[in-house]
Amino acid sequence: MARVVLLAGGNTGDVKRTLQSAQQLVNDRVGAVLRCSHRYESEPWGFSGDRFSNQALEVSTDLAPEEVLDAVQRIECELGRNRAAETLEKARTGAAYVSRPIDIDILFYDDAVIRSERLTVPHPRLAEREFALVPLCEIMRGRRHPVSGLTVAQMLGALRAQSSEQPCGK
């Protein structure tokens, strides 16, 4: 059995209910949810919109990495995510990201380093995203990143130190 770490989040609709449904569907279709963080709110990353609510999940699975990806993308679709509409909105606004009812990212898959056309694990921007590191730190602060070797707590500390050094407005 592998341990996969997911980040679920959203900022439209009944996000609390959607995250609860996502957790249940992950438990049913991906594997047993071993631990989950509280929900944390944050500003959108990379665009303007409503605040996001995010939650980290540690899951025991017998699915291969791309099977996990397929399963979580089906769950997103069932819970109202419309990637085609998102693509149109991104084209219209020029933003890299848009509001959505649910997003489920694979942060870690055991200590695997995966770089395929469809999937990159560990998540390539994890160390840049406080909204992911905070819930992750709650459930596994000592977890080491398989590439950098830093713990989740160290990545969060480094990110916070870096952001405190940035001048206002940058």
Q: Can you list the domains of the chain with their CATH numbers?
A: 2-124 (3.30.70.560)
pLDDT of residue 170: 40
Taking only the tens place, the pLDDT of each residue in 47-99 is 888 999 999 999 999 999 999 999 999 999 999 999 999 999 989 988 888 99
Nearest 5 degrees, angle CA 19-CA 103-CA 97? 135
Given phi > 0 = left and psi -120 to 50 = alpha, else beta, which region is 46? left
pLDDT of residue 40: 96
**Residue 23 dihedral angles phi and psi, to the nearest 5°:** -60, -45
Tokens read off for 2: 């592998």
Residue type present at position 54: N
- Where do we find the tokens 């989740």? 152
Taking only the tens place, the pLDDT of each residue in 118-150 is 999 999 999 999 999 999 999 999 999 999 999
CA distances to 5, 106, 144 from 127, in Å: 15, 14, 12
Q: Is the pTM here over 0.75, yes or no?
A: yes
Residues 6+ apart with CB under 8 A from 72: 6, 26, 30, 104, 106
Active site residues: 81, 100, 103, 105
